[in-house]
C-alpha cells in the first residue's frame, strides 16, 4: 500500500507550477511526501498570471482547506467578486447576480495571489525554475524527462500539470486539445479613470456584454485593475500563438472597433480604456468523454487532463480537486500500489469531467449565441435547459 515512506523511495516529478501542480505538491508535502516541480518560467514573476478566479466550496476551497491554506486564502480573497452584471450591446442592464443567486459561496482571488500562497507553502527549492520540458519518454519501468537545455531527469512517477500543451499527455492519449471556434483578445485597464465606463460595467465583480456570437467579458482584479476579454467566434488562426502579444495595439483597437461596429459607441469606448498590449488567446477543449490508454507511473491533472473554456469558472476548481483526489489516492491504504491509486483517481476524475466539460460547452453556446442575449434571458427565466 502507498505510504509516505514508500512514496519517498520514489522520484516524483510534477510538470508545471500552476495552481494544480503546486496544490498537489503542497498536499503531498503535508502528508510527508517529497516532490520536485519543473516550471518553464524563469521565476515566479516572469509573466502575468491572468485575471481572477472564483473558488467553490466543494472543490477549490476544499482542496485549499486540506492543504492547510484556508487562512491565507481568506486574507487574499474577495467575496464581493461574485457580483456579475449582464448587458446588451446598447449598454442596457439585463440581469445582475451576486452570491445570493449562487448555490454556494465562490469568493474571488487573483490568479497571481493564488499561485503565490501555494508557492510560499512549499519547502524552498521544491520548484526548478527555467526547466522547459520538451518530452516525456518511457524507459523501462521509469520515465525520462527531457529539457530544452538537453538535460534529462529520471522519475518513477510523473504528474503532468503542464497545461493545454502538456508534454506528458501524448503518453496517455492521442486526443489532443482542439480549438473551440472561439478566441479571446485580452487587455487590461490598469488604473480605471474616474467615470470609467468599464468600471461601471464590472462594479466590484464582473460584467458581461452579450452580442451576437460576440461578447465583452470584463473582470475586476484585487488591485482595482480590470481585465477585458473580447470574445468572438472565428476560424482558427495557426499564425497566432496563445499568449502572444499584438505589437501594434492601435491596429488591434481599430480591427476590434470594426468587428464590434454594431455595438453602442460607449460600449466600444472600452477599447480605448485598455492601456496594455493586447494578447491573443484561442480557447481549446478536450472531448467530454476521453479515451486514455493503459499506462503506469504517469497521470495528468488540471488543464493537461481536461482543458476547457472558462465560461463556467470550473477550470481551476477542477484542477485543485484533481490535486486533492490524486494526493488522497496516492496516500490511501485502500490501494495496493501507486498504479492502483492512479487508476482509481483517473476513473473518478474522467467521469466527473464528462459532466463539467459538457456544461462548459453549453455555457459557451449561451454566452456567445447567434441569438444574442436572448439565450441567457431564456435560461434565467426558466425557459432553457441550462
Q: Is the pLDDT of residue 68 over 90?
A: yes
Region 157-172: mean pLDDT is: 97
54 is in an annotated binding site: yes
pLDDT at 98: 74
Domain with CATH 3.30.9.30 in the chain: 179-284
Q: Are 346 and 304 in contact (CB under 8 A)?
A: no
101 is in an annotated binding site: no
Q: Is 342 helix (H, G, I), strand (E, B) or coil?
A: helix
Cα–Cα distance between 45 and 25 in angstroms, integer?
19
Q: Is the pLDDT of residue 380 over 80?
A: no
pLDDT at 83: 81
**What backbone phi and psi angles, to 5 degrees, belong to 357?**
-70, -40
Q: What angle do CA 182, 183, 185 make, to 5 degrees?
A: 150
Of the listed ranges 66-80, 305-319, 356-370, the least confidently predicted one is 66-80
Half-sphere exposure (CA, 13 Å, Cβ side) for 60? 26
Q: Which three cell numbers stand for residue 307?
A: 482543458
Q: Which residue did the predictor score with more confidence, 144 or 82?
A: 144
Q: Which three cell numbers stand for residue 333?
A: 491504504
Domain with CATH 3.50.50.60 in the chain: 4-81+105-177+286-367
Spatial strand order of the sheet with 12-15 comes to 127-129, 36-39, 12-15, 157-160, 298-300
Q: What is the pLDDT of residues 174-225, one digit of tens each?
A: 999 999 999 999 999 998 888 899 999 988 888 999 999 999 999 888 888 8
Q: Is the pLDDT of residue 379 over 90?
A: no
47 is in an annotated binding site: yes
62 is in an annotated binding site: no
The b/e string for 39-63 (b: 16+ C-beta within 10 A; e otherwise) is bbbeebeeeebbbbbbbbeebbbbb
CA 209 to chain centre: 22
The rounded mean pLDDT for the chain is: 91
CATH numeric code, 179-284: 3.30.9.30
Fold of 4-81+105-177+286-367: FAD/NAD(P)-binding domain (3.50.50)
Q: What is the pLDDT of residues 336-350, one digit of tens each?
A: 999 999 999 999 999
Cα–Cα distance between 383 and 129 in angstroms, integer?
50
Q: Are 20 and 160 in contact (CB under 8 A)?
A: no
pLDDT at 1: 57
Strands, E assignment, 161-210: 178-189, 206-210
Query: What is the pTM assigned to this prediction?
Result: 0.92
Amino acid at each position: 500500500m502507498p505510504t509516505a515512506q514508500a512514496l519517498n523511495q520514489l522520484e516524483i516529478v510534477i510538470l508545471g507550477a500552476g495552481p494544480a501542480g503546486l496544490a498537489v505538491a503542497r498536499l503531498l508535502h503535508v502528508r510527508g511526501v517529497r516532490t520536485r516541480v519543473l516550471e518553464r518560467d524563469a521565476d515566479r514573476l516572469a509573466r502575468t498570471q491572468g485575471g481572477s478566479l472564483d473558488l467553490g466550496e466543494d472543490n477549490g476551497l476544499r482542496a485549499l482547506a486540506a492543504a492547510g491554506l484556508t487562512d491565507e486564502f481568506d486574507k487574499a480573497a474577495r467575496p464581493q467578486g461574485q457580483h456579475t452584471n449582464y448587458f446588451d450591446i446598447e449598454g442596457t442592464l439585463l440581469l445582475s447576480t451576486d452570491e445570493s443567486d449562487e448555490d454556494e459561496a465562490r469568493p474571488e482571488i487573483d490568479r497571481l495571489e493564488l499561485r503565490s500562497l501555494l508557492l510560499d507553502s512549499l519547502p524552498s527549492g521544491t520548484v526548478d525554475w527555467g526547466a522547459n520540458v520538451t518530452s516525456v519518454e518511457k524507459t523501462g519501468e521509469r520515465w525520462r524527462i527531457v529539457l530544452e537545455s538537453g538535460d534529462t531527469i529520471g522519475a518513477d512517477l510523473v504528474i503532468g500539470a503542464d497545461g493545454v500543451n502538456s508534454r506528458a499527455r501524448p503518453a496517455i492519449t492521442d486526443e489532443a486539445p482542439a480549438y473551440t471556434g472561439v478566441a479571446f483578445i485580452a487587455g487590461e485597464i490598469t488604473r480605471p479613470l474616474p467615470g470609467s465606463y468599464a468600471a461601471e460595467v464590472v462594479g466590484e465583480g464582473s460584467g458581461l456584454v452579450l452580442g451576437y456570437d460576440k461578447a465583452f467579458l470584463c473582470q475586476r482584479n484585487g488591485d482595482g485593475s480590470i481585465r477585458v476579454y473580447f470574445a468572438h467566434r472565428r476560424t482558427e488562426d495557426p499564425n497566432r500563438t496563445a499568449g502572444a502579444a499584438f505589437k501594434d495595439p492601435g491596429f488591434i483597437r481599430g480591427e476590434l472597433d470594426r468587428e464590434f461596429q454594431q455595438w453602442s459607441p460607449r460600449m466600444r469606448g472600452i477599447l480605448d480604456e485598455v492601456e496594455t498590449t493586447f494578447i491573443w488567446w484561442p480557447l481549446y477543449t478536450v472531448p467530454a468523454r476521453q479515451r486514455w490508454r493503459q499506462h503506469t507511473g504517469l497521470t495528468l491533472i488540471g488543464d493537461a487532463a481536461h482543458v476547457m473554456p472558462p465560461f463556467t469558472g470550473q477550470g481551476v476548481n477542477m484542477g485543485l480537486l484533481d490535486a486533492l483526489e490524486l494526493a488522497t489516492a496516492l496516500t490511501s491504504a485502500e490501494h495496493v500500489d501507486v498504479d492502483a491509486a492512479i487508476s482509481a483517481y483517473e476513473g473518478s476524475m474522467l467521469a466527473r469531467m464528462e459532466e463539467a466539460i459538457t456544461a462548459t460547452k453549453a455555457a459557451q453556446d449561451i454566452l456567445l449565441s447567434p441569438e444574442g442575449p436572448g439565450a441567457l434571458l431564456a435560461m434565467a427565466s426558466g425557459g432553457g435547459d441550462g
